[in-house]
Structure 1
């Protein structure tokens, strides 16, 4: 006898979110029964592992590129070319997400789009040129989320990024700017003096 379950139990059986099941229903891929009260009921016999693997096979590959500032747009294009060639060489159809913003910024539009796709089970593979292209700090949390959602993470270059020192200096400057503004006030002379000193030190380190 078939066993019919609620949408939450069906989502658990498939390892996806309830919103994903609703989206599949809207597209006609998986149609539940309805109770007299209008509640969804899913046939567990139709939610076997092979059904799950077929569902996950449609999840997309996402290539993610990021640079910190506008004057690094040439590097952004270089990252995108590397990602395109790598994905093409493996026969992967993919979506490209490119961000312009600091590795300390967790509110970038592209990053948010990527995280939404992972949470919604739309992403099956994430491809990066370097680990730090995702975030300067906290990338491990996103990798842990990928592991939980069974998203494969591919990092093309495991070595240090050629722009590592430059971007790290910019991120350190951003951290000091934020905290000094909290300590002394964003418009205070003391705050500006500290920031100017750090900026000068950063420029000097980049010239050596």
Structure 2
């Protein structure tokens, strides 16, 4: 989640614009216990697609070793997405669930990008 200052920088607007948009219902924020605004990647994407700083695509790889860690995988994806968005990267996320090793200790997966 991003602070109002971080969100304003990403969108190229003033913090007062974000407050006005919230009052108009164009964007939603999550409030902290101290009543500070925080914005999710999804909400910011509704307003404006963040332009990548260059044409290269960054690949984020998120992995957990078992199906009972699905919630951990979701958190990883969210954190990697937030990081890439904050840096202005054009990105794709690859999610991997389960072990990539067989019983012989040899990797089962081969990835090409």
TM-score by length of 2: 0.44
**TM-score of the aligned structures, taking structure 1 as reference length:** 0.25
Higher helix proportion: 1
- Indicate the structure (1 or 2) with the bigger Cα radius of gyration: 1
Structure with greater contact order relative to length (CA < 8 Å, sep ≥ 6) = 2
